[in-house]
Amino acid sequence: MTTHASGVVDAAPPHGTEPMPRVTVAELDRLIATARTCRANVIRLVHHAGAGHVGGPLSAIDVLTALYFDVMRLDPQRPLWPDRDRFILSKGHSSPALYAVLAARGLLEDATLLTFDELGSPLQAHPDMRKSPAIDMSTGSLGQGFSAGLGIALGAQRRGSPARVYVLLGDGECQEGQVWETAMLAERLRVANLTAIIDWNGQQQVGWDAESDEPGRQETMLEPVAKWRAFGWQVHTIDGHDMAALVSALRACRTATAPTVILARTMKGKGVSFMEGDNAWHSRVMSDAECALALAELGA
Amino acid sequence: MTTHASGVVDAAPPHGTEPMPRVTVAELDRLIATARTCRANVIRLVHHAGAGHVGGPLSAIDVLTALYFDVMRLDPQRPLWPDRDRFILSKGHSSPALYAVLAARGLLEDATLLTFDELGSPLQAHPDMRKSPAIDMSTGSLGQGFSAGLGIALGAQRRGSPARVYVLLGDGECQEGQVWETAMLAERLRVANLTAIIDWNGQQQVGWDAESDEPGRQETMLEPVAKWRAFGWQVHTIDGHDMAALVSALRACRTATAPTVILARTMKGKGVSFMEGDNAWHSRVMSDAECALALAELGA
Amino acid sequence: MTGQGALADATGVGDPAPLTAVVRPARLANGEGRSISLRDAFGEALLQLAQADPDIVVVDADLSNAVGLTSFPAALPDQYLQVGIAEQNAVGVAAGLATWGYRPVVTSFAAFLTSRSLDQVRVVVAQTGLPVVLVGGHAGLLAGRLGKTHVSMEDLAIMRALPGMTILAPADGVEMRGAIAAALAANRPVYLRSGRDPVPAFFAADHEVVLGAADLLREGDVACLLSTGSITPLAHAAVQLLAEAGHEVAHLHFGTVKPLSGAVVRDVARGRRLVITCEDHSRVGGFGSAVAEILSEEALVPVLRIGTDDVWVDSARNDALLALHRLTPADIAERIAERLTR
Amino acid sequence: MTGQGALADATGVGDPAPLTAVVRPARLANGEGRSISLRDAFGEALLQLAQADPDIVVVDADLSNAVGLTSFPAALPDQYLQVGIAEQNAVGVAAGLATWGYRPVVTSFAAFLTSRSLDQVRVVVAQTGLPVVLVGGHAGLLAGRLGKTHVSMEDLAIMRALPGMTILAPADGVEMRGAIAAALAANRPVYLRSGRDPVPAFFAADHEVVLGAADLLREGDVACLLSTGSITPLAHAAVQLLAEAGHEVAHLHFGTVKPLSGAVVRDVARGRRLVITCEDHSRVGGFGSAVAEILSEEALVPVLRIGTDDVWVDSARNDALLALHRLTPADIAERIAERLTR
Ligand SMILES: Cc1ncc(C[n+]2csc(CCOP(=O)(O)OP(=O)(O)O)c2C)c(N)n1
Ligand SMILES: Cc1ncc(C[n+]2csc(CCOP(=O)(O)OP(=O)(O)O)c2C)c(N)n1
Ligand SMILES: [Mg+2]
Ligand SMILES: [Mg+2]
């Protein structure tokens, strides 16, 4: 039970911090199906808009699905419930994935999806918290969402709220110094209600692919496990498209005693064969034929 | 032999990259005496100006003396000799230390010391490369000198120059994200002609001293060795007031094959008993009596 | 579910009420009152406010003592968050705290807050409308002994470029006390300009800070001087010198630099031969430019913008800097007289 | 050993020569020439320049392809340095390279270069005078489909606040080619504003870029429109619409936003009823404000500043944004006609 600034006492059941049970096969199947639907919606909304990123959203969909459909405590009827868990898409250019998942979860109206990036739409190119109560923080400039997430996590602690904060970062994004400022402060304050997930798809906008043939030197991140450990974070490395692994790693964070980072190995464009691993799809506009092909592959 | 942009071929002998011999006792004694003179000059110039930082300059003097009087290749007659080694005081607020050492080394006129921080002086509150050819980079905004140092080191490599770059950072300064952006790029490019030295005096401007009683949590840096290692740097931890240790660690950098950081354990206010470890002296103005006492302690 | 109405909730992201635009006759200290620096007045006032309101939280990028919060950390440790020398993270963390209804006050130097963390101020403060108060210390020439990396002569120009920022530049300790209270009450992003050195009390102790209001310091027919920030007392002295020389120049102080009421500025300009602006800031893009933007629309009255030239400021003593940049009362008076008698 | 003379050496920290301030009759493309985006013109030109000058080095914060350098990394790998998504370090590394006589060109989006790395631009570029060229892509409304975090409507205001920055805002691909060459030749800190979408050639192929020069696009007695950047073609169309409606408005393009010659601006203003400024930028602090600063000094002529209002720009299609912010040629003409016939 939490008392808020307003003096209102929240009657909703507090979040448990006890470990959650193992995920069942039926639950997993439902999550996998949801992720697939959301992938199709990413394709639809980006194609409809003729703008927006594709590769990054597709690599992030499974993480988002696991969060919004399994791990996070929230109530679509009360999007601003103070004790809700928060999600911040620090890699804000993957907004189509966020919008697709929010709509599937009932936090956005489906009809708004096809207004993406159009004048007057709540679905801005990058997530804008002033446009919808379902968006917990405005992002788009890489590295910033993580700091805000730390602030929100600290705020929850100060308010005595069990709210947890999940922040999704890009692997390229981790080149921003601000990410390490945040990591350092979270380490010092041992902010255990903060979970970072790295969408480790191995690609960024340009990167070093063309520049270096030396093995390892084209990587978006060098030795990330060692780096995060040295910064005092608990580190889990998982397959970011393996729903069972995602769910169990994310569920485990609820009992963490230190800030936790999940290095989720992913693939840009995941789920659409001709986009997978091809960074040309970072933000390319699809033809109608490509859109149809992608949707067909996704069974939509 | 280096060919420069201008087409001028430099006739000066190239820097050796062979290890340097062990430092002799006589050499050490001279360095220690020089450091002491420079400490006295820091006291004099700050007192004369009635402004400027004190604690940080005194903790940095030994490092600067070892660099300018033993390790760095330079020629006071040709301050802009292209193949000279470069030094960047990334913790620019310790400018009094830099000025004292530059003057002792013949790179600044002694007479300018007492113009510190006065109108028209080349000795700005923070080092300004436009005011004197002896200053290799303008600093004062923490975290920036290190980036510029990396750029200079890369420039040396591109020009085929044996010039090495030494950057002195504060331990508090290492909280700036930009420091880690720089560390990451140096790691990726394996910039071996770049040496960072951290003036690890355990204090910054405010810090966490008052905030946390928990052991370790007031530190300016948490687990710095692990952090720098994880960022791919070679790490040496030494006593930053032990001239022999300083000289041998810095000499060893000349044959490094990776970027190297020297964590130099120091004490703020070192050399003046009533300033040692008392962070009130971060930038306090001295009374005449305090100045006299400090100078007496320094045998000056 | 869309639109901003839904957000006028505990997260504090509602649309702010418009500021009042009024001109009030000012009551001056006239030699009464304490000499105190803006920073110390800020520190005293914030401590009091925070003692009464536990939602006020200082987010400090390792400069709290330098901006006047010497006793705050020990007095209210639970309302003080040290983030280290990391201005970018400071602003982001503050924004996150603000979503919970906290009233974060970020402290650093003006030079760093408005440049090192500008992207963060832009995206998670100004664009979200979260009520974060940014306190930039050591702004202006009178922190001159730190030199060009630390002396911000550009902060007003930079902050003015951000939609939705409210910018306050108090004249003295009395006004600073009111300004920090008003900033916290305003429920919107605020940039508060602070300074280092003691200044004599300028306003009477009961001077009330109302965002957007201007203070009429003196009447005068010929011209009107508009000033902001801690140069107002110097400008006031200049106006007195001018009066002695026979030039009756009206004087208004603007403790709020943005928003600036076009109506008020036009009103005081009309019928006069010259409008003069005066600020401890570059002549480019700051308060004077805001006035020039307004008055140039109708070419109502010529505008003489007094501030520093478009150059970096070297380190030196305050008096040397004021003289060099011709910002002493005598210099200000001379510049205005020159222009009036041309 | 003191002073700047000693530094006019291989490190390239010498004092730049003053810019030329001239008005030249412009030669227009008149339907000839290619339609090309500013970014692609930049990319083509820089590749050619860099092929001829090995000292030109691109320092990229992971946006080279988005700002027009698609083939550069593969074509000249030794002159391309990828620093990753780290704008602060990019600017610092560029400054370091410049001390060796290299001519670094830093590439990112305008929004990030002028905010995320503002402190670095301020300290190691503008304050040192090192000849770093900062190329800010996707500036202005016409990158609108990225929304307010990416669309910079403030870059000119922010860069203008920094002493010593030269600011270029070319109108089209032809001028962009000349601008990047001139920026590299200028031996000083330069901010070059670039854009995303293809625009028809505006200037004739032999249009010569001279820093500080203005281009006379049309004579006209009643008023004079001064524009900068890629809105100049739209402003030009507006001026033609106005002529058809009987308003003879002169038009000058300023490819250099800073320094801006007061003499030139006063000259073109004198004797006319109105000066209009037009820019793809906020009305606060940018090119229009620079003109207002100059013209307000003598209240010579009223100034109508056309740009976006002081609001954050949402994401939408270019045409929708231009209409919303009333920046289509018809809107521009209407705003001017309204003012002229008031
Ligand atoms: C501060 C900042 N710099 C640059 C950009 C432009 N940008 C958008 S996406 C991107 C690449 C991001 O790579 P990564 O974080 O790995 O995300 P991915 O697309 O691979 O999911 C860049 C550089 C930005 N949005 N913000
Ligand atoms: C970007 C930036 N933020 C803040 C400051 C103000 N400042 C000057 S010294 C200092 C403390 C530095 O601590 P440390 O790096 O440990 O140096 P020390 O004084 O201990 O040698 C601070 C915060 C600054 N100069 N630059
Ligand atoms: Mg990636
Ligand atoms: Mg220290």
In chain B, the residue whose alpha carbon lies closest to the alpha carbon of A187 is B222
Q: Which of chain D's residues have a Cβ under 8 Å away from the Cβ of B2?
A: none
**Placement of tokens 């300790």 in the chain:** C173
Percentage of the residues of chain B whose pLDDT score is greater than 70: 91
Could you give phi then psi for residue A168, rounded to 5 degrees? -100, 125
Do residue A125 and residue D66 have CB atoms under 8 angstroms apart?
no
pLDDT digits (tens, 9 = 90+) for C101-140: 999 999 999 999 999 999 999 999 999 999 999 999 999 9
Amino acid at C70: T
| Amino acid A20: pLDDT | 66
pLDDT digits (tens, 9 = 90+) for C62-98: 999 999 999 999 999 999 999 999 999 999 999 999 9
pLDDT digits (tens, 9 = 90+) for A237-261: 999 999 999 999 999 999 999 999 9
Q: What domains does chain D contain, in order, with CATH numbers?
A: 31-199 (3.40.50.970), 214-340 (3.40.50.920)
Q: Which chains have 3 or more CB–CB distances shorter than 8 Å to chain A? A: B, C, D
Q: Which of chain B's residues have a Cβ under 8 Å away from the Cβ of D10?
A: 4-6, 80, 82
Amino acid at B51: A
pLDDT bucket at C45, cuts 50 / 70 / 90: very high
The CA distances from residue D263 to C307, C338, D212, in Å, are: 21, 21, 12
| Amino acid D19: pLDDT | 56
Q: Which domain holds residue B93?
A: 2-297
The preferred substitution site among B46, B58, B204 for testing ligand 2, maximizing ligand atoms within 8 Å of CB, is: B204
Residue to substitute from C149, C150, C321, interface B, most B β-carbons within 10 A: C149
Residue A126 Cβ < 6 Å to ligand 1: no
Q: Which of chain C's residues have a Cβ under 8 Å away from the Cβ of A160?
A: none
CA-nearest residue for atom 17, ligand 1, is A170
In chain D, the residue whose alpha carbon lies closest to the alpha carbon of C120 is D116
| Amino acid A44: pLDDT | 97
pLDDT at position A182 over 70? yes
CATH of the domain at A170: 3.40.50.970
Percentage of the residues of chain A whose pLDDT score is greater than 90: 87
Strand partners, D224: D250, D275
Total number of domains constituting chain A:
1
CA-nearest residue for atom 20, ligand 1, is A204
The candidate with the shortest Cα–Cα distance to B79, out of A192, C316, D11, is D11
What mean pLDDT, rounded, does chain C reach? Answer: 93
| Amino acid B3: pLDDT | 41
pLDDT digits (tens, 9 = 90+) for A16-48: 555 567 889 999 999 999 999 999 999 999 999
pLDDT digits (tens, 9 = 90+) for D158-196: 999 999 999 999 999 999 999 999 999 999 999 999 999
pLDDT digits (tens, 9 = 90+) for B205-249: 999 976 666 666 789 999 999 999 999 999 999 999 999 999 999
pLDDT bucket at C10, cuts 50 / 70 / 90: very low
| Amino acid B215: pLDDT | 65
pLDDT at position C19 over 90? no
- Which residue of C161, C163, C295 is in closest CB contact with D158? C161
CA-nearest residue for atom 19, ligand 2, is B56
Residue B162 Cβ < 6 Å to ligand 2: no
pLDDT digits (tens, 9 = 90+) for D119-145: 999 999 999 999 999 999 999 998 878
Residue A174 Cβ < 6 Å to ligand 1: no
| Amino acid D55: pLDDT | 98
In chain A, the residue whose alpha carbon lies closest to the alpha carbon of B218 is A188
Give, rounded to a whole angstrom, the gap between the first and last alpha carbons of chain D. 62
What the block records as the tokens of B130 is: 């436009």
Residue C85 Cβ < 6 Å to ligand 2: yes
Residue B53 CA to ligand 4 centre (angstroms):
12
Do residue C13 and residue A156 have CB atoms under 8 angstroms apart?
no
Q: Which of chain C's residues have a Cβ under 8 Å away from the Cβ of D158?
A: 118, 157-158, 161
Helix (H), strand (E), coil (C) string for D27-91 = CECCCCCCCEEHHHHHHHHHHHHHHHCCCEEEEECCCCHHHCCCCHHHHCHHHEEECCCCHHHHH
Q: How far is CA C321 from the centre of its chain?
A: 20
Q: Where are the alpha helices (DSSP H) in chain C?
A: 38-52, 72-75, 87-98, 110-113, 118-120, 155-160, 173-185, 232-244, 262-269, 287-296, 318-324, 329-340
β-pair type (C36-37, C198-199): antiparallel
Residue D40 CA to ligand 3 centre (angstroms):
25
Cβ proximity of D36 and D198 under 8 Å: yes
pLDDT digits (tens, 9 = 90+) for A186-244: 999 999 999 999 999 999 999 997 666 666 678 999 999 999 999 999 999 999 999 99
pLDDT at position D335 over 80? yes
| Residue D326 touches partner C, C-beta closer than 8 Å | no
Percentage of the residues of chain A whose pLDDT score is greater than 70: 91
pLDDT at position C280 over 90? yes
Classified as helix, coil or strand, D193 is strand
pTM here is 0.95
Cβ proximity of C247 and C223 under 8 Å: yes
Give, rounded to a whole angstrom, the gap between the first and last alpha carbons of chain A. 43
CA-nearest residue for atom 16, ligand 1, is A172
Q: What is the DSSP letter of A126?
A: S
Q: CA A73, A77, A83, A88: dihedral to nearest 10 degrees?
A: 70
pLDDT digits (tens, 9 = 90+) for A261-270: 999 999 999 9
- Provide the b/e sequence for D293-325 (b: ≥16 CB within 10 Å): bbbbbebbbbbbbbbbebebbbbbbeebbbebb
Distance of residue C56 Cα from the nearest chain A Cα, in angstroms: 12
Do residue B143 and residue C85 have CB atoms under 8 angstroms apart?
yes
pLDDT at position D334 over 90? yes
User: Residues in chain B with pLDDT < 50?
Assistant: 1-14
DSSP A7-36: SPBP-SPPPP-SPPPPPPHHHHHHHHHHHH
pLDDT at position A122 over 70? yes
Classified as helix, coil or strand, D303 is strand
Of B190-199, B201-210, C10-19, C197-206, the one with minimum mean pLDDT is C10-19
Cβ proximity of B197 and B88 under 8 Å: no
- Provide the b/e sequence for C160-198 (b: ≥16 CB within 10 Å): bbbbbbbbbbbbbbbbbbbbbebbbebbbbbbbbbbbbe
Do residue B158 and residue D83 have CB atoms under 8 angstroms apart?
no
Number of residues that this document lists for chain A: 300
In chain A, the residue whose alpha carbon lies closest to the alpha carbon of D89 is A177
pLDDT digits (tens, 9 = 90+) for C208-231: 999 999 999 999 999 999 999 999
Non-local (6+) Cβ contacts of B32 within 8 A are B243
Do residue B185 and residue D13 have CB atoms under 8 angstroms apart?
no
What is the C-alpha R_g of chain D?
Answer: 19
| Residue C296 touches partner D, C-beta closer than 8 Å | yes
| Amino acid A210: pLDDT | 66
Give, rounded to a whole angstrom, the gap between the first and last alpha carbons of chain C. 62
| Residue C325 touches partner D, C-beta closer than 8 Å | no
| Amino acid B210: pLDDT | 65
pLDDT at position A174 over 70? yes
What mean pLDDT, rounded, does chain A reach? Answer: 92
Residue A52 Cβ < 6 Å to ligand 1: no
Q: What is the C-alpha to C-alpha distance for residues C183 and C175, in angstroms, rounded to an integer?
A: 12
Give the ligand with the smallest distance to the CA of B55.
2
- Strand order, beta sheet including B165-170: B86-89, B165-170, B194-200, B260-265, B234-239
Distance of residue C242 Cα from the nearest chain D Cα, in angstroms: 20
Q: What is the C-alpha to C-alpha distance for residues C14 and C8, in angstroms, rounded to an integer?
A: 4
| Amino acid A160: pLDDT | 98
Q: What is the C-alpha to C-alpha distance for residues A106 and A85, in angstroms, rounded to an integer?
A: 16
Q: Which of chain B's residues have a Cβ under 8 Å away from the Cβ of D128?
A: 129-130, 137-138
| Amino acid D167: pLDDT | 98
Cβ proximity of D285 and C281 under 8 Å: no
What the block records as the tokens of B18 is: 């062979």
Amino acid at A209: D
| Amino acid B183: pLDDT | 98
| Amino acid B216: pLDDT | 67
The CA distances from residue C308 to C198, C281, D323, in Å, are: 21, 6, 39
Do residue C150 and residue B119 have CB atoms under 8 angstroms apart?
no
Residue to substitute from C115, C128, C335, interface D, most D β-carbons within 10 A: C115
The candidate with the shortest Cα–Cα distance to D19, out of D260, D215, D194, D202, is D260
Cβ proximity of A223 and B232 under 8 Å: yes
| Amino acid D342: pLDDT | 87
Cis ω before C259 (30° cut-off from 0): yes
Q: What is the C-alpha to C-alpha distance for residues C63 and B206, in angstroms, rounded to an integer?
A: 6
**Placement of tokens 């006063």 in the chain:** D266
